[in-house]
Amino acid sequence: MSKLDLNRILVVDDSKFMRAFITIQLEAEGYVTTSVEDGRKALELAAAQNFDLVLLDLMMPGLSGIETLSILRQHYSEAELPVIMVTSSDDSQHIVEALSTGANDYIVKPIEDFSVVLARIHTQLSRKKAETALREALIKEQATNEMRARFISVVSHEFRTPLASIMVMSNILTQYHNKMTDSQRMQRLLKIQDVVRHITTLLDEFLLVGKGEMHKLDFKPEPTDLKVYTQEFIDELQKTLPSHTIQWQAKEPLQKANVDQKLLRQILTNLISNAAKYSTTEKPVVCLLHQDQEHSVFRIQDQGIGIPESDLPHLFEPFHRGKNVGTLPGTGLGLAIVKKAVEFHSGTLSVESTENEGTTVTVKLPIQLHPTTDAT
């Protein structure tokens, strides 16, 4: 048969002999067939199963071929489900009626040369395959354009404010440095450095997501004492979140685990920072670590604004932000980075969240892991 991937054909004919004849011929060519004797059964099957093409008898008792076709076209376009009418009449009126109702093609009985039928089937399935590929390409292009638009929007929004801040502070230093004390000048210089670090972090996020999608991210796992590493990291991170409390707990025993420390840092930074950002200062962010036989399990819990249920399916898409974040700053890249970093570890990531109550993110990373360069 054809090398097409589309091969499921529904044969509809009130003649038992014709159904058997067509089925034998098609299956000999490798097609998968289902046959029924009337229009109503054909409609039931079409609704319940996925067919690539229908061979439909024009003249049948009960629901005629034209009536069956008319109902099919209410649900499936000619591109989605090609229909070839099979008629014992070469009356042009019947053929025109079938084509105007939505038939893709027709075959006249008796069928003397089945290769003609096969050629017509192949033509329709080829068209369907090409149109499906085109439709998928258009959808992909639309998604790419939407991603590009969101990228431009995020970049312009997230970089404009810190760059303007640098400009203001540098102008002040330029115009008033002679009137400022050393302490005042140092304060502004340190502020500029903080802003530059913030911009650098944003750039790292953009680059990390891009590299991750191309599977070019450096991945270098090494034996790590997770309790010591995480404790030191949280102590450092706590200094950048002075208004929030990070409650850290590690449940013994813990063995050394193979992790990429840079990527683990990205995971914890994004999850804990998000938890703090979307929580009030009165509520602590909880970070728990334990191990089972095969995994190191990190659990980050907050009692913040939570995530709307409609946002959960899109949570890890780059640039996606929840509907309830309001004016809180963010790029929408953090969780996309976390997902990619977890995938490089061959780990799993799960989220439980209730709006206005809080969110729990659980990350499981294999304890034993060998270096790899691909997250697939």
Token pair belonging to 14: 């009130």
Mean of per-residue pLDDT scores for the chain: 84
pLDDT for the residue numbered 123: 93
Question: d(Cα 360, Cα 304) in Å, to the nearest integer?
Answer: 10
- The pair of structure tokens assigned to 230 is 């995480």
Contact 318, 147 (CB under 8 A): yes
Across the chain, the runs of DSSP E, i.e. the strands, are: 8-12, 32-36, 53-57, 83-87, 105-108, 222-224, 246-250, 257-259, 285-291, 295-302, 348-354, 358-366
Q: How many CB atoms lie within 10 A of CB 49?
A: 10
Does pTM surpass 0.75?
no
Query: Region 175-189: what's the mean pLDDT?
Result: 87
- Pairwise CA distance, residues 140 & 143, whole Å: 5
Q: Which domains does the chain have, with CATH numbers?
A: 8-136 (3.40.50.2300), 148-213 (1.10.287), 222-366 (3.30.565.10)
CA distances from 299 to 17, 44, 234, 335 (A): 65, 48, 14, 15
For 191-206, the pLDDT digits (tens) are 888 778 767 766 766 6
Give the pLDDT band of residue 54 (cuts 50, 70, 90).
very high
| 212, 375 Cβ separation under 8 angstroms | yes
| Model confidence at 284: pLDDT above 80 | yes
Terminal Cα-to-Cα distance of the chain (whole angstroms): 34
